[in-house]
A = this chain, B = another copy of it.
Amino acid sequence: MNNELLVQYRRELHTHLTDELLPFWTVRTADHVNGGFITHFDQDGHDSGEDEKSLIAQTRSIYTYASAHRAGYGGAENLAELARHGVDYLLTRMWDTEHGGFYWMTNRKGEVLNDQKIVYGQSFAIYCLSEYTLATGDPRGSEYAQKTFDLLQKYASDTRHGGYFEMFHRDWTLKGLGSAGGDRKTLDTHMHLMEAFTSLYECTRQAIHRRKLLEVIDLMVGKIIHPIYSTGVPQFWADWRVAPQIKFNVIWGWDRFTEDGVKREAEDNTSYGHNAEFAWLLLHAIDVLGISHEPYQTHLQNAFSHAVDYGVDWEFGGVFVEGSHGGEVYDREKEFWQQAEVLIGFLDAYRIFGDEKYWQAYANVHRFVMDKMVNHSVGEWWPLMTRQGTPIWTHMSHSWKINYHTVRSMVQSIRRIDKLLTQNKLGLTKDSGQ
């Protein structure tokens, strides 16, 4: 690694963010008729027409515009105003005034299509609303983030085994077993609660938000990551025994299943992208909490190392989808969000541990993203590619993809490269710049 390369990479990220990614969204996402955001676009960036507004897509959009504004991007595009436009819709159309919490899905007009309370979605509401208040000072964000937090403590927390149940009916009664999800706990939701509580605490500085953040961190470290490999275990029973990974009725993402909903290696499966994301989100939480990361050092190193040692494709570039905790790779395709998260994570790992392999891994994924994953002529990323980099799915956005991973990856990677440049300028060794 040398400064010239850092500066070149920074320029590529910055150009992509400001000339391609943000403009892709600012010109087309605001729904001026019904409020909120249009979030379905095909490979050419044309509205693909699906009549839905998902909690995930609305909240992730708010996070994107609020956080980019807070980081100094946007300028005349006024990303704060765009975030406010989203918050208006979220609070007036998606908040359940009777039972509290946010609905899972409306149509474009704002009529409720799915009134369930899914904790994964509530966590993104807390995350985006906290970020929105941090970015704009509008107290509505913090107010509703806190309301949602309180509801999770009352209805979702499991006072028997700790952690949070995740799938509820509209009235916050727990959903049923199996694919209804009422008897399971997941890495995904608890990791995003950690992310959400970090921003909530950053916004409010309330002791209870700090304590519950520390509790969910301890859960992640003590129950949810693998005791030997520090890699994420996707699903658990309520009592934290590992559960075979199944597909839920309400889904939010890109977990890969065969067509009959079965996971090939349902009990020995981990995602390189999740692991790097967990590690950098944990580092960020530690930073916001102002505590030492020394107790977490081994876990952080294990999680980052596993992603580099087994997840990086040194032949075709980028990071694979998932594999076993022990190392065997199961799925060698390339998903957008895993590339986005490892970029941030590998820069953090390099900054903290100083091991050149993390820099090489970053450089590898950086090139794959810039050369293959980004659909430059349109502005967003392909959702899924073959190992070699040919698009498999081609939409630029739909109810789950949206822009949180891509924009955040650019904003956070630039921030980390700036830290590295500062360290180099000051002649600091890598691991002193924690």
Q: Using a CB–CB distance below 8 Å, which chain A residues touch chain B?
A: 150, 153-155, 157-164, 171-174, 207-208, 211-212, 215-216, 218-219, 222
Contact = CB atoms under 8 A, between A and B. Distances in A.
A219 B159 contact: yes
Given A150-B154, A154-B154, A155-B208, A215 B160 contact: yes
Given A173-B207, A207-B171, A208-B172, A215 B158 contact: yes
Copies in the complex: 2
A289 B154 CA distance: 20
Q: Return the 9 tightest CB-CB contacts between A and B, nearest first.
A: A160-B215, A153-B154, A162-B162, A159-B215, A173-B207, A160-B218, A160-B162, A161-B162, A157-B159
18 contacts: A150-B150, A154-B208, A155-B208, A159-B163, A159-B164, A159-B212, A159-B219, A160-B162, A160-B216, A160-B219, A160-B222, A162-B162, A171-B207, A172-B207, A173-B207, A173-B208, A173-B211, A174-B211
A282 to B, nearest CB: 15
A275 to B, nearest CB: 21
A153 B157 contact: yes
A153 B162 CA distance: 12
Contacts of A208: 154-155, 172-173
Contacts of A160: 162, 215-216, 218-219, 222
A211 B171 CA distance: 13
A163 B212 CA distance: 14
A211 B158 CA distance: 9
